[in-house]
Structure 1
Amino acid sequence: MWVLISAALLLSLTERSTCDTLAAPPKASPWTITFSPAEITAEKGLCAVISCTFTHPDNIKPTAAIWFKCPASGKCDQDKNIMFHSETPSKAQKGYKQRVSLLETDLTKKNCSVIINDIRENDAGEYQFRLHSLYTYPKKVNIAVSALTQKPSVLTPALTEGEPATLTCTAPGMCSGTPPNITWRWRGTGDNITELRDNITIQERENLTTMTTTHFSTLTFTPSAEHHNMMVTCQVTFQKNFQIEETVTLNVTYVKDPQITGNEMVKEDGTLDLTCSVDSYPPSDITWSKNGTSAPLQNYTENATLTISNVTREHSGEYVCTVQHLNRTMTASTVVTVMYLPVILPGSGCVDQAEVMTCVCVSQGVPSPLIVWPLLELNTERCSLTTSVLGSSVYSTISVPVGNHNNTTVECVSRNVVGVVREKLQVTQNKSQEKQRGCGNAVLPWTIAGVSLSVTVALLIYLSKNAYIRMQGMNVKPKEEESTYISLDKKYTSQEEYEVIARRPR
């Protein structure tokens, strides 16, 4: 019985001992390595960072870090496969020399991270780390190499015409390898400028896991309206083989002086078309107004067309185009003239006295009409013709000797570009005055527009002589002709007095 009990106790102790042995955790290895990430993808021409940390026994002091590039087959940790040796750099393979460096040179910090610059296609594969000649960590990290797809970054500030600005192109990768070549190109309307500037600046940033270098180029210029909508390309070349570029379109704030086009002369009952154009960015607000009052059109494009149908004489005047571009206001104006057919005004007529007939014809129209006298064609012996313009009215006076006034018909013909009007003038006989031969003094009994014709004619005679000569087909300057005038009012008795009057503003 005691034998059975002893056997049972022994079996129980044996099973407990076995359970205690299985439950004990395994002893951790002092040699560990951690990669973050375990798989790395790098683009050609840029760089790859193998980020890793390691552990080792406390009684070990690391003195050298060795990295191997594993072959497709065979052992990795062999001298012929060394791609980096911190203690003896000459042991590294030729293709890796000066391309690989530790991010932390103090190995006591247990950081084994390395950066491989100027990545090539044959850099793809597995890599293994060894701490001096003590221990090769079995865990490996893999690098995959892909085509260069990253693009440079082009920073474009706000551009205003006439204000210097700087464009900045930053190369991708931020690696400390061979500096890339950065060039600028304009591309406008048919214009190509291959290289403008290659001004590379390097900035370095450093922390525990990475040390990167930024390569960028600046282009400084003074923008103008011609630069608006131009395309600027920044091209970055790595290792003379891998090229990437980025193109941006420039937006330049500018405004040109407004321009008004259209016919400023329009016939009555016609159509007025005026267009105000302004070249600007962003587009300007355009407002039309007439004589300081609001006109019927307000347009918010770069071309504002003002159209008025069936124009009347009241549409004549100054039209103002106001352009509002951001905080700047500009104006342009034009004067519109409405043309209409001449009208022979009441008060036109003739006086016959002492065998001298004096006739006055007053016509109004736009443009100023020309007045001709068919009577002059019948009388070779003429005395005088005077013409004067006052606003839209034309005053014309003739004085001719007539023998038999009963058979004389006097017609005034007035014309401009719109048309021609004719009117036969009434002849009034004045027998109360003393008869005189040829040209002489005469007083007209009516007034025109509130001004005595006798005075008006006297004021106009000297001014009209040259116009009369031109009408007869002659080309004689006033200073070369003999001064001819008649006095219809004894108040003016000399040529000097006429000249003074003629110089007064009309």
Structure 2
Amino acid sequence: MFLLLWTAVLLCEISADTGLSQKPTVVIPPLTAGQQSTLTCTAPGLCSGSAPDITWSWRGKRNNDSYITGNTTEFKTENVTAGTQRHTSALTFNPLAEHHSTSVTCKVSFRGDITTEETQTVNVSYVKEVQITGSRKVTEGETLSLNCSVESFPPSLITWAKMSESDLQEDTDTFTQDQRTGALSIYNVTAEDSGQYVCTATHLNKTHKMRNVTVTVIYIRKPQISGSTAVNEGDVLSLTCSAESFPPSVITWTKLSSNTTLNNGTGSATLVIPNVTAEHSGQYICTANHLNTTLTERVTVTLTWITEIQTGSVCELQSDVLTCWCVSEGFPLPTFKWPLLEDHTQYSVVTSVSKQTVNSTVTVRNHGNTAVECVASNENREVKANLTIQTKLPEADAGPQRGVLPWIVAGVSLTVNVLCIICIWSLWNTRKKVKPNQEDRVYMSIQKAETSEYEVITPYQT
């Protein structure tokens, strides 16, 4: 227990009618933490004799006596009238926030063990450090909840503000310090809610305390792919995949139906393939791995290519009809141009397609050319070739020879058959004029059994 005691060893006569019901007069000016102040205690009544004893005592918030460091006391005597005096004690100290709501007692003791005292509550204006509680990290879609508090007397006004790039924006919310706490709540937060927030404590119309806190929103956006997906054969394929997120995502490039990682990076990754060929066409997959979330984006790479005029492209001349075939492959499918048709009005062009192969056939009469040029092109480039002209025996000249041969064979066969018939008929007539021998008659008899001429068969007698 701390007692501030000082005693003026003076005698003060006090009459009974003065009334010890009177109490000392204690004056406490407005107190501000950290600023030196003086409390005064004046003894009741006017003394014409010795001065009374005046003591100070201090009781803390928990009803325990406390000690105030750095205090000084001063006793003053004021002559009011001839023979009467007023006695005052002054206590000077530096008030602190801990002194707020404590009690100070001034006790006056007169001769004859007569005492009187006065107790008052001390109010100290003060403001302490701003305290911010609550999670600074929140997942997108959840609720951000922060509490800003400051211990002060009288209560401070707490305001929340979000820091922009150049200055403070409008207050997000404003709270009075009724419960010494200011709650900031943002529902369904988005990435735009990330940033620096400022809690400000305004005390007695003065901004005394400010504290910043950085809020981060955990989020991820759909991966975005940039770069040309249509490239020419031999060029460089360059595609960049990025995913806006916090914390940064891990980006990985793969090709469909392949588990091979082509490239990866944090936040973004660039896929580079130099000197692309037809095999590099297809679907590529960008995968963004973010904490427990995986997002993918696909892109189809198309290669623009064309081959040279292929072997087998040729021209065939038959009579006055020229037929040419020209073959090429590519993507997009190549188109053909025949410069020789510029000087002709009668011709035919037939185009056939099989997968990426295109065959163009042109037929023209009376061409009068010694060389034929075929031109194929697509978005990639243009290819040309001079086709060889091969001469073929026309079908119109070969046709009559093939028609005469069957008639010759038929004529020879008919002549042989007629001659054979004449020979057989002549031999038959000759044999009928010769008398037959026994064997002949038997043979003839057998052959003529049904005729009357040979009804009886007898042996020939000599």
Q: Please confirm whether the aligned pair reaches a TM-score higher than 0.5, indicating the same fold.
A: yes
Provide Cα deviations, 1:353-410, integer angstroms capped at 9, x if missing partner: 464333221111344333211111121x133334455443333232222265xx4422
Q: How does 1:393-404 map to 2 (within 5 A)?
A: 393-402=357-366
The equivalent position to 1:427 in structure 2, one of 371, 386, 389, is 389
Tell me the CA shift for residue 283 of structure 1.
Answer: 0.9
1: CA distance, partners of 2:236 / 2:334: 22
Letter in 1 for 2:140: E
Answer yes or no: is 1:156 the counterpart of 2:135. yes
Q: Which residue of 2 aligns with 1:309?
A: 274
The structure with more strand, counted as a fraction of residues: 2
1: CA distance, partners of 2:169 / 2:242: 32
2: CA distance, partners of 1:365 / 1:393: 7
Letter in 2 for 1:220: I
Given that residues 352 and 360 in structure 2 are in contact (C-alpha distance below 8 angstroms), is that contact kept between their aligned partners in structure 1?
yes
The equivalent position to 1:187 in structure 2, one of 155, 163, 187, is 163
CA 319–215 in structure 1, closer or farther in 2 if over 3 Å, else same: closer
Structure 1 range deviating more: 64-73 or 322-331: 64-73
Letter in 2 for 1:224: T
1: CA distance, partners of 2:237 / 2:324: 38
Where 2:192 maps in the other structure, the secondary structure is helix
Where 1:166 maps in the other structure, the secondary structure is strand
Provide Cα deviations, 1:255-286, integer angstroms capped at 9, x if missing partner: 11111122323344433222111111111111
Answer yes or no: is 1:378 the counterpart of 2:335. no
1: CA distance, partners of 2:105 / 2:25: 5
Given that residues 356 and 399 in structure 1 are in contact (C-alpha distance below 8 angstroms), is that contact kept between their aligned partners in structure 2?
yes
CA 395–77 in structure 1, closer or farther in 2 if over 3 Å, else same: farther
Calculate the aligned-residue CA RMSD, in Å: 4.3
The equivalent position to 2:356 in structure 1, one of 373, 392, 400, is 392
Q: How does 1:88-487 map to 2 (within 5 A)?
A: 124=94, 128-130=104-106, 150-170=129-149, 172-173=150-151, 177-190=153-166, 192-200=168-176, 202=178, 213-228=179-194, 230-353=195-318, 355-379=320-344, 381-387=345-351, 389-402=353-366, 407-431=369-393, 433-434=395-396
CA 77–367 in structure 1, closer or farther in 2 if over 3 Å, else same: farther
2: CA distance, partners of 1:412 / 1:192: 72
1: CA distance, partners of 2:328 / 2:22: 114
CA 398–66 in structure 1, closer or farther in 2 if over 3 Å, else same: farther
CA 78–317 in structure 1, closer or farther in 2 if over 3 Å, else same: farther
CA 422–68 in structure 1, closer or farther in 2 if over 3 Å, else same: same
Q: Which residue of 1 aligns with 2:458?
A: none
Q: Which runs of 5+ in 2 are unaligned?
A: 5-20, 30-36, 46-58, 67-91, 398-462
Where 2:340 maps in the other structure, the secondary structure is helix
CA 79–214 in structure 1, closer or farther in 2 if over 3 Å, else same: farther
Q: State the TM-score, normalized to the length of structure 1.
A: 0.54
Letter in 1 for 2:388: Q
Tell me the CA shift for residue 182 of structure 1.
Answer: 1.8
CA 191–430 in structure 1, closer or farther in 2 if over 3 Å, else same: farther
CA 190–383 in structure 1, closer or farther in 2 if over 3 Å, else same: farther
2: CA distance, partners of 1:65 / 1:290: 95
2: CA distance, partners of 1:222 / 1:327: 20
Given that residues 162 and 224 in structure 1 are in contact (C-alpha distance below 8 angstroms), is that contact kept between their aligned partners in structure 2?
yes
Structure 1 range deviating more: 241-250 or 267-276: 267-276
2: CA distance, partners of 1:265 / 1:75: 92
Where 1:76 maps in the other structure, the secondary structure is strand
Provide Cα deviations, 1:180-211, integer angstroms capped at 9, x if missing partner: 22222122345742222124575xxxxxxxxx
1: CA distance, partners of 2:352 / 2:24: 110
Where 1:214 maps in the other structure, the secondary structure is coil
CA 73–215 in structure 1, closer or farther in 2 if over 3 Å, else same: closer
Letter in 2 for 1:423: A
Letter in 1 for 2:145: T
Q: State the TM-score, normalized to the length of structure 2.
A: 0.58
Larger of the two Rg values belongs to structure:
2
CA 398–272 in structure 1, closer or farther in 2 if over 3 Å, else same: same
Letter in 1 for 2:199: C
CA 191–340 in structure 1, closer or farther in 2 if over 3 Å, else same: farther
Q: How many residues align?
A: 326
Tell me the CA shift for residue 289 of structure 1.
Answer: 0.7
Where 1:196 maps in the other structure, the secondary structure is strand
1: CA distance, partners of 2:320 / 2:158: 100
